[in-house]
């Protein structure tokens, strides 16, 4: 049932992208298509490194692009919707525009177990602008926040809301203004600015 719901969500997202004016052209991209993609890359999302096994190039002709995890030679014999890895749209200036979604991105290991996430972000004219989320493969949100003109702006929530601890970071134009760390019942530590956060966490964040 969960897999069916996730597949339906991907199809709905693809339909919504293609409904945007100028985005009628859909380009199917496969894992061996180097014309449209680059090899694996790490991106910094808040303070976390997210690994993308493959990504679209930064500039591509206008259209909606769908990246699959299978090679082109194998695509004819598979149900392709099951192998969608990424969906995104490029505008008339060949820049990323609107919502990009990546499925089963690799973040790290804990006790020798791999953890996979769904990563969604938004762009305007090639620059991060709008909300982003990082969700566990079971759909629970692990990290969320927003960018404005390429800079963190607003509240970033790091951690599952009902977990033992959750960190709330308030950004203004890329600068950390204030922060709060909650446990399940109340705020147990807070501060203003990046230096106080580093001191409280004993890190070089």
Helix%, strand%, coil% for the chain, nearest 5: 20, 50, 35
pLDDT at 75: 82
pLDDT at 146: 94
List 113's β-bridge partners, or say none.
110
Which residue has tokens 């976390």? 48
**CA–CA gap between residue 169 and residue 109 (Å, rounded):** 25
Q: What angle do CA 112, 133, 187 make, to 5 degrees?
A: 85
Q: What pLDDT sits at residue 6? A: 52
Bridge partners (DSSP) listed for residue 115: 108
* pLDDT recorded at residue 200: 65
Residues of the chain with pLDDT under 70: 1-24, 46-48, 105-115, 160-164, 184-188, 193, 198-205
Three-state SS string across 104-164, please? Answer: EEEEEEECCEEEEEEEEEEEECCEECEEEEEEECCCCEEEEEEEECCEECEEEEECCCCCC
In angstroms, the CA 78 to CA 59 distance is 29
pLDDT of 121 reads 93
């Amino acid at each position: 049932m969960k897999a069916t719901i996730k597949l339906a969500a991907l199809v709905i997202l693809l339909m919504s992208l293609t409904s945007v004016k100028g985005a009628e052209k859909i380009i199917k991209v496969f894992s061996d298509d180097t014309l449209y993609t680059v090899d694996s890359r790490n991106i910094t999302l808040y303070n976390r490194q997210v690994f993308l096994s493959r990504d679209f190039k930064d500039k591509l002709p206008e259209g909606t692009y769908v990246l699959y995890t299978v090679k082109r030679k194998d695509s004819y014999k598979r149900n392709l919707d099951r192998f969608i890895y990424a969906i995104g749209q490029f505008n008339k200036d060949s820049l990323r525009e609107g919502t990009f979604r990546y499925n089963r991105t690799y973040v790290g290991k804990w006790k020798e177990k791999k953890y996979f996430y769904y990563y969604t972000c938004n762009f305007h004219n090639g620059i991060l602008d709008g909300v982003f989320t990082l969700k566990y493969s079971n759909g629970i949100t692990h990290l969320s926040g927003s960018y404005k003109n390429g800079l963190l702006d607003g509240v970033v929530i790091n951690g599952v809301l009902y977990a033992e601890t959750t960190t709330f970071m308030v950004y203004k134009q890329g600068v950390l203004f204030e922060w709060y760390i909650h446990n399940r019942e109340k705020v147990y530590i807070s501060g203003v600015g990046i230096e106080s956060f580093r001191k409280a966490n004993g890190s070089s964040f």
